[in-house]
A and B are shown apart, each in its own frame.
Chain A
Amino acid sequence: MRIDPNFVQGLVSAVNQTQANEQKYTNEISTGVSVNSLSDNPAAASQDFLLRTEISANDSFIQSANTLTSQMQVADTALGSVVTQVTSAISLATEGANGTLNASNLQSIANQISGIRDEVVSLANSSYQGQYLFAGSKSQTQPFALGTGTPPAVIYSGDTTLSYTMTPNGQQIQMNLPGSSLFGSGSTGVIAALNNLINDFNTGASSATVTTDIASLTSGMSTVTQQRVILDNSLNRLQASSTYAQSQTTQLQAAQNAVIQANPTQLATLLSQTQTQNTSLIDMIASLDAQPTLFSRLN
């Protein structure tokens, strides 16, 4: 059979092919990534997108969780201080109720409790980065103020809206405590109880009245403590979710690496094979070109 006299042309296209492969392998080695366009490996490109989306959602949640944790810790610290203050108010009031103190001492107790009340109101108006922490959804309005009566009513300007944040796996975590459920409003709650005690000591109320008001204050304090437990639970869940998101991100990154990372050892082998092939082809073509045709031998 007659052979194709132009078969060297075919060899040249084989050289082009080996060069294209060389370029591909070199590119993968230099970028460190095996998927440099969607069609290189459509499944991997799509998988890579899903993984990086999940990683980015986790990163975003971790960042949110950090912000929230700081904010909730500030709230928790405020509530801790409220408990400390109220505890000392209870001991002062108990001391005043035992009937052994004179009027001037009672006045002094009234003044001290009044200081504590102001401190508790101030703590109830705590803010974080310009947001009142115990105002429900009305975080831009100072939630607590005292009225003008005697004892003054507690005026709560916030609302009872609860806010939640959502973790990447869909858990809802409560992130605020409305002021009214912590400190009460009108004539109930811990602030109102403090007001009543101040009034008791100012007016020299009976020991029985003081004892009743101490009981109200104690009950108000236990409300604060109970609510604080909700906040602490939220804080724990938030931190656990954040930690989980972090460890998940590490795993996701490992998975992403496995999907897209180039395998340098394998590529180096492939590249070296292709180079050898390329060189041999070129040598072969050169030697074929150097071959004389029969014409050069004719006389």
Chain B
Amino acid sequence: MATINSALQIMAGALNADQAALNVTANNTANASTPGYTRQVAVFQANDPVTINGISYGQGVQMVAAQSQRNLILNANIDQQQQQQQATQAQYTAMQQVQDIFNQVTTSTSGPSPGSLGDLTTNFFNAINQLETSPTNTALRQSVLSAANTLAGQFNSSAAQLTAQTNGLNQQVIGTVNQINPLLNSIAQLNQQISSASPTADAGLLENQRQYDLQQLSQYIGINTIKTENNGLTVTTTSGALLVSEGKSFDLTTGNVSGNVHIFATASGSSGDITTAQASGGGQLAGLLTTRDQSIPAVQNSIDTMAYNLATQVNTVQMAGVDQNGNPGLALFNIPATVTGSAAGISVAITNPAQIAAAAIGTGPGDNANAVAMANLANQSIIGGQTPTDFYASFISNLGSQVSGLNTLNTAQQASLTQLQNQQSALSSVSLNEEAANLQTYEQAYQSAAQFYSVLQTVVISALNLGMQTPVG
């Protein structure tokens, strides 16, 4: 037979459960704006019934869990997408700055030349073209020399700006590694806490923090994660270098390798230089490394090739002629012996305008045959099988396409990241309306339980007073 006492106990249990649920709602509401917070839902469970004389009596309710509303696969997808998107964005931002070095576009068809490397090359050949008309004119000779100096200066300055970009990227790599290490540390500590606090089930708030750290980490570096026993998490780079294992983290270090910052893993068994591997690994690091080690060197090589071929070809023609004083032509440009470093190393070798060899050997100073030959270089395929103009046009077109491609890719990756984040937010974010509704529900449940309790109390008193002259109560 059911007793009034057991009913009282049921209601006491209900009061406890409702109070716990109110706590969950309170915590959700309090953390509505906390980054990385995953909302919790109070899970009520009916107590096991008791069967007396063949009748099954319910034994009330208890709140068995505050369940975090998370989808681990969705979270992992977001991390992956984040790594890709951040890599592209970092590369896009860096390449935009590279593009700015060569960004001289026409601002007005009647205005002055925008002064790009290509324009200055044209100006140099135009100056020689002017000299053809009057090879002994000192002013025209001086213009050729000035145009050569301006061109060499622009090569130098472009090369210097590329070097500055590379240096800037090196600093960013160090900065990124400095962001990564504390996160690795934090994940290792959380691993420890989670394995002791919640080895078999979702670790709730601790899990939120660990997930949030992983999301942060995914901005910086490409990672893989593996769930281990006791709810632990092993984190490696995409190339397999161990970063976090159980309660231990293995900091990344940086070091200088032939002028560039390289990244080293420190866990024994997977230690060593991971720079090349991480260039395709994801996260900001991948974008920075790809730009530094692939994109900028390609750009550098283009302008080196242009400077080297232009200078050597002009020198060859110049040295095949005679100058205004009838002396054999000297090299017009100083240029390194190899293509590498040519843009940084090019300079004008002669200072006296009379040293420009406009005349052919065996003729007087009024001859222009060598100047004509030099001016004709402008129309010959002297740089990588192309004319100087075509070479520069392909170069800027490639550079622009690369940046524009990165922009498109970045936008697309950002859009799909946003979609994933919306899905996650739909599942895991706190909705204040929902919490208000929960508050109302649990409050009413609590009030009902309390009311029920007081009614039961009356019933108990009635029971006690059965047949009594002086009732208690």
Contact = CB atoms under 8 A, between A and B. Distances in A.
In this complex, the interface size class of chain A, counting residues with CB under 8 Å from chain B, is 35 or more
Nearest to A295: B436
Nearest to A163: B368
A56 interface: yes
A137 B367 contact: yes
Contacts of A68: 133
Contacts of A40: 400, 404
A289 interface: no
A112 interface: no
Interface in A209-249: none
A53 B363 CA distance: 32
B375 A42 contact: no
A293 interface: yes
B35 to A, nearest CB: 11
Contacts of A129: 134, 137
Contact of B397 (A42, A140, A253): A42
A63 B359 CA distance: 21
B460 interface: no
Given A2-B426, A50-B393, A53-B118, A37 B364 contact: no
Interface stretch (B76-84, B105-113, B156-164): B105-113
Contact of B436 (A59, A60, A141, A293): A293
A294 B103 contact: no
Given A37-B105, A39-B404, A141-B364, A298 B440 contact: yes
B99 to A, nearest CB: 5
Interface in B249-282: none
A204 interface: no
A138 interface: yes
Contacts of A61: 129
A38 B364 contact: no
Interface string B124-154: 0110011011111100000000000000000
A142 B224 CA distance: 86
Interface stretch (B59-67, B331-339, B427-435): B427-435
- Interface size bracket, B side: 35 or more
A53 B119 contact: yes
Contacts of B418: 10, 13
A56 B126 contact: yes
B133 A71 contact: yes
A39 B407 contact: yes
A138 B107 contact: no
A131 interface: yes
B432 A5 contact: yes
| Most chain B CB neighbours (cut-off 10 Å) among A7, A57, A59, A297 | A57
B190 to A, nearest CB: 25
Given A5-B425, A140-B365, A49 B132 contact: no
Given A35-B105, A163-B369, A42 B404 contact: yes
B111 to A, nearest CB: 10
Contacts of B435: 295
Contact of A31 (B107, B363, B379): B107
Contact of B130 (A63, A163, A253, A261): A63
B122 interface: yes
A256 B106 contact: yes
6 contacts: A40-B400, A46-B396, A60-B130, A136-B366, A136-B367, A294-B436
Would you list the 10 A-B pairs with minimal beta carbon distance, nearest first?
Answer: A139-B366, A42-B400, A38-B400, A138-B364, A137-B367, A294-B436, A46-B397, A137-B364, A39-B403, A60-B126
Given A4-B423, A5-B425, A141-B364, 18 more contacts: A4-B429, A5-B429, A33-B106, A37-B99, A40-B400, A48-B106, A49-B118, A49-B393, A50-B390, A53-B122, A57-B122, A129-B137, A131-B366, A136-B363, A139-B135, A139-B364, A139-B366, A176-B366
Interface of A: 1-7, 10, 13, 31-33, 35-43, 45-50, 52-53, 56-57, 59-61, 63-64, 67-68, 71, 129-132, 135-141, 158-159, 161, 163-166, 170, 175-176, 253, 256-257, 260-261, 293-295, 297-298
